[in-house]
Amino acid sequence: MPWAIYLGISLVFGAGYGMSGSGVLLLFVTIALALYLVSYGLRALALRRGWLQRDGWALSGRLLAGVLIGALVVQAMVALVMVPAVALHWVTMPGGRLDYRPAAVLVYWFNAAIVLGLWTAGWASARVLERARHSEIARLRAEAERSALERDALRARLNPHFVFNALNNLRALINEDTERAREMVTRLSNTLRHALEQNDREHVRLAEELAVVDDYLAIEAVHYEQRLRVNRQIAPAALDARLPPMALQLLVENAIRHGIAVTPGGGELDLRADCMDGVLRLEVANPGRLGTGNGGHGVGLAYLRTHLGRDGLFELTEHEGCVLARLEIAQ
C-alpha cells in the first residue's frame, strides 16, 4: 500500500513537470516495484536476524546499512528493466535516452536511499513501539497475576481450618492451662501478623522465618498432640541466609496438611537447613504420598515458585511413603 501511494504521487508530480510517455510510466512503475521488493526483503531480514531486539545504535547501524545497500539494489533492478527497454525501443524516454552519468547515478541512488530510509524508519519505529507496548502489557499482566497469586497465598496462610482449630484449642486451654493458653495467643498473633506483613518484603533471614515456623508448629502441636513430632537439623551458618517470606512456612504447612493430618497416628516432620557454597538448602520431609490431603499443593507452591524465579530450585518428590520438599536458593 505505501508503494502504491508512492507510485501515484510520482506520476502526479511527473505529469506536473511535463514528464510523460511510456518510458516514464515504466520507470515509475519499476522504481515502485523495486522499492516494494527491497523493503519486503529488508523487513524479512530484520525480523529473521532479530534486529529489533538490539539496542538503539546496533539497530540503527544495521538498518542504515540495509537502506544504503537496498538503494543500490533498487537502482540495479531499475537499470536491468529500463536499459534494454529503451535500447530495444520498447518505450520512449524524454530526450530519447537514459542518463547514467556518474553524477546522475549518485542522485538516483541518493533519492532511492531517502525514500527507502523514510519507509524503514517508519516501519521500525512502529514495530519497536508495538513491541514495547506488548512488553508493558505482559509486565502488567504478570504483576496482576503475581498479585492475585499473593492474595491466594495469603488466604491460604489464613485458611479457616487453621484459625478454627487454633481458636477451639485455645478455648479448651483457657480453663485447663491458663499459662499455655496465653502463650498460644501470643504465637497465633505472631503467625497472623507474619502472614499479613511479609508480603511487602522481598526476602527475610532464615532465623526470622524459623521463629514464625516455631510459632506455627507450637499452635499445630496443641491440635495434633503426639501425632506431630518434629526433628530439626539447622546449621548455624544457614541462619543468616535469605529466602522469600513464608517460603519455609509454606513447606511446613504442606507437610502437616498433606502428610501428618492424613496419616493414621501422625508421624515425624523432618526439617533440615544448611548453607554451603553460597546456596541455602532447605528440606522438609513428612510421611504420606503426593496428591493426597486437602486441596493439593497448588496455590502455595505456585506462589513459592513465582518468588524463587531463576535464583532458586524447588523439588517435590516421593520415596517409600515419604514426601520430600527440597528448596535451594542462591545467596
How does pLDDT run across 293-331, given as a tens digit for each residue?
A: 554 445 566 667 766 766 688 888 998 889 999 999 998
**Lowest mean pLDDT across 18-32, 193-207, 259-273:** 193-207
Candidates 10, 1, 82; CA nearest to 40 is 1
Task: Give residue 310's identity as a one-letter amino acid code.
Answer: R
- The residue that leads in pLDDT, 126 or 308, is 126
b/e sequence 99-128, b meaning 16+ C-beta within 10 Å: eeeeeeeeebbeebbebbbebbeebbeeee
**Lowest mean pLDDT across 217-221, 244-248, 265-269:** 244-248
Distance CA 25, CA 7 (A): 10
**Lowest mean pLDDT across 71-75, 140-144, 254-258:** 140-144
Categorize the per-residue pLDDT at 153 as very low, low, confident or very high, splitting at 50, 70 and 90: low
CA 54 from centroid of its chain's CA atoms:
18
- The residue that leads in pLDDT, 301 or 238, is 238
CA geometry: angle 215, 218, 219, nearest 5 deg: 90
pLDDT score for 284: 95
pLDDT score for 296: 44
pLDDT score for 10: 84
- Indicate if the alpha-carbon torsion angle 157, 160, 162, 167 is positive or negative: positive
CA-CA distances (angstroms) from residue 186 to 165, 198, 211, 241?
16, 18, 12, 26
| Lookup: cell for 268 | 515425624
pLDDT above 70 for 69: yes
Contact yes or no for 152/299 (Cβ under 8 A) = yes
Candidates 253, 257, 241; CA nearest to 312 is 241
Distance CA 192, CA 187 (A): 9
Candidates 214, 238, 229; CA nearest to 259 is 229
pLDDT score for 18: 65
Strand 204-205 and strand 242-243: the pairing is antiparallel
Distance CA 286, CA 229 (A): 10
pLDDT score for 285: 95
- The residue that leads in pLDDT, 22 or 252, is 252
Burial class (CB in 10 A: 0-12, 13-18, 19+), 92: middle
Contact yes or no for 62/46 (Cβ under 8 A) = yes
Taking 3-state DSSP, the helix, strand and coil percentages for the chain, each rounded to the nearest 5, stand at 70, 15, 20
- The residue that leads in pLDDT, 244 or 68, is 68
Candidates 315, 326, 302; CA nearest to 148 is 302
pLDDT above 90 for 116: yes
Categorize the per-residue pLDDT at 280 as very low, low, confident or very high, splitting at 50, 70 and 90: very high
**Lowest mean pLDDT across 42-51, 164-173, 313-322:** 164-173
Whole-model pTM? 0.51
| Lookup: cell for 167 | 481458636
Candidates 168, 27, 175; CA nearest to 90 is 27
- The residue that leads in pLDDT, 303 or 231, is 231
Categorize the per-residue pLDDT at 92 as very low, low, confident or very high, splitting at 50, 70 and 90: confident
Contact yes or no for 32/7 (Cβ under 8 A) = yes
Contact yes or no for 202/244 (Cβ under 8 A) = yes
pLDDT above 60 for 46: yes
pLDDT score for 297: 47
pLDDT above 50 for 72: yes
Query: What pLDDT, in 10s, does the model give residues 256-272?
Result: 988 998 888 889 999 99
Mean pLDDT (the chain) is 84
b/e sequence 252-261, b meaning 16+ C-beta within 10 Å: bbbbbbbbbb
- The residue that leads in pLDDT, 292 or 327, is 327
Categorize the per-residue pLDDT at 229 as very low, low, confident or very high, splitting at 50, 70 and 90: very high
Distance CA 303, CA 251 (A): 12
- Cα atoms found within 13 Å of the Cα of residue 151, Cβ hemisphere only: 5
pLDDT score for 308: 74
Contact yes or no for 227/273 (Cβ under 8 A) = no
